[in-house]
Amino acid sequence: MRRPIIALVLIVLFLPSCTRSEAVSERPVTAGAARALPASTDSMFGSLVAALSEPGGYFDSDNLVSNELSYQHVLGAMRRLKVSGGAYIGVGPDQNYTYIAKVRPRIAYMIDLRRDNLLQHLLYKALFDLSRNRVEYLGLLLARPAPGDVGSWGGRPVEQLIAYFDSVTPDRELFDSVGARVARQMGTYGIPIVEQDRETIARIHGRFVGAGLDLQYESLNRPSRRNYPTFRDLLLERDLEGNQASYLASEDDFQFVKSLHARNLIVPVVGNLAGDRALRAIGRDIAARGERVSVLYVSNVEFYLVREGSFAEFAENAKTLPRNERSVIVRSYFNGPYSYGHPQWVPGYFSTQILQTLDSFVTEYTSGGYTDYLALVTRHSLPLR
């Protein structure tokens, strides 16, 4: 049984006062298990984050959890295409971990315009590092006491984890304790954290604690939609073949993501996809490691880039990313004037996931084929079933 959303007052209570060539490589992207990248030291991690990042910007949403309930709809097609290994690039919060868990890349980059997203991923990283398994991770994220027999929860279905955390209430002392542990852990990552950053991290964590599994994406300065999924919905969602595929649906998937974090191979980056530095710098870092992009997940960022007139800059950046014939773009399309006619739309979903090869994107863009946003979201999209 779902618990009601905890009042905003509780959230406030929990806040402390205080050019690589564009040529396609012939080498295929192979499975992540075939060859693992070595771990980077904490100082190397912090230096890489700084080197890849550019000045941040503003976007009018909190984006603490995804608003794309359809995010798993591309997974079956990606399996059939044998998209695996390589380097993963994605925007936004933890829906990326589900893609990472299934693709098993050797390195991942989380790029977002907002510095808040970098701080949220550092919070996730700290919680992964402090947790032994999924149930302990959720307990720390939601500041709810984990069950006493934590070790016995490894094989339990995600429904049982959800039911357990719906049955317990947040604990203020636990929140304070976890916050202190997170701060100490972040202090080892080689990334300068100023007081404003600490306040932002506490605010983000407080939102998860206050709303719990009812947490939803919220728009700022514009109406939020009631049909946005909750954190609970996202964790319980299934792919088009009926599989529960969230990174928290499987202990093995959770442990894979945890292992990347432990080796500093999930790299948060502040950057604009259409900016003049971050995405190209990520591409150069990938090439220097001898890798190719397996997945470029852009959510619906291209909608805003088209509207702002900076889509061409993004496309030129994307052209420089090292790729092969299995490299794909994953994008999200939200119901608008044309959405219900989109060939990939699934009835009952507000968002539509679209899968396209990076090669076909570059070819179509170079030929001048993307005359508007509708052309972008309909041309060369791969069948999902």
Confidence of residue 218 (pLDDT cuts 50, 70, 90): confident
* Poorest-pLDDT segment among 13-17, 77-81, 236-240: 13-17
280 lies in which domain range? 8-16+31-378
Q: Does 86 map to a domain?
A: yes
pTM for this prediction: 0.89
Q: Does 25 map to a domain?
A: no
Q: Where are the alpha helices (DSSP H) in the chain?
A: 8-14, 42-52, 75-80, 95-103, 115-130, 134-142, 158-166, 172-186, 195-211, 231-236, 251-262, 278-288, 301-308, 311-319, 358-366, 373-378
Q: Give dist(CA 27, CA 308) in Å, integer.
A: 36
- pLDDT tens per residue across span 263-290: 999 999 999 999 999 999 999 999 999 9
Confidence of residue 13 (pLDDT cuts 50, 70, 90): very low
The CA-atom distances, in angstroms, between 296 and each of 106, 126, 220, 319, 338 are 14, 25, 26, 12, 24
Q: Does 157 map to a domain?
A: yes
Confidence of residue 63 (pLDDT cuts 50, 70, 90): confident
- Per DSSP, the three-state class of 81 is coil
Q: Does 185 map to a domain?
A: yes
Q: Give dist(CA 21, CA 100) in Å, integer.
A: 26
Express as a percent the part of the chain with pLDDT over 70: 86
- Whether 367 shows a pLDDT value over 50: the answer reads yes
Q: Give dist(CA 123, CA 185) in Å, integer.
A: 9
- pLDDT tens per residue across span 276-335: 999 999 999 999 999 999 999 999 999 999 999 999 999 999 999 999 999 999 999 987
Q: Give dist(CA 68, CA 352) in Å, integer.
A: 8
Number of independent structural domains in the chain: 1
Q: Does 158 map to a domain?
A: yes
Q: Does 219 map to a domain?
A: yes
In the DSSP assignment, the letter for residue 51 is H
3-state helix vs strand vs coil in the chain, percent to 5: 45, 10, 45
Q: Quick check: 91 and 118 in contact, CB under 8 A?
A: no
Angle, in degrees to the nearest 10, between helices 42-52 and 278-288: 130
Q: Does 24 map to a domain?
A: no
Encoded tokens for 368:
């001048």
Q: Does 26 map to a domain?
A: no
- Whether 370 shows a pLDDT value over 80: the answer reads yes
pLDDT at residue 227 in the model: 77
User: Which candidate, 149, 150, 152, 146, places its Cα nearest to that of 168?
Assistant: 146
Q: Give dist(CA 147, CA 145) in Å, integer.
A: 7
pLDDT at residue 223 in the model: 58
Express as a percent the part of the chain with pLDDT over 90: 78
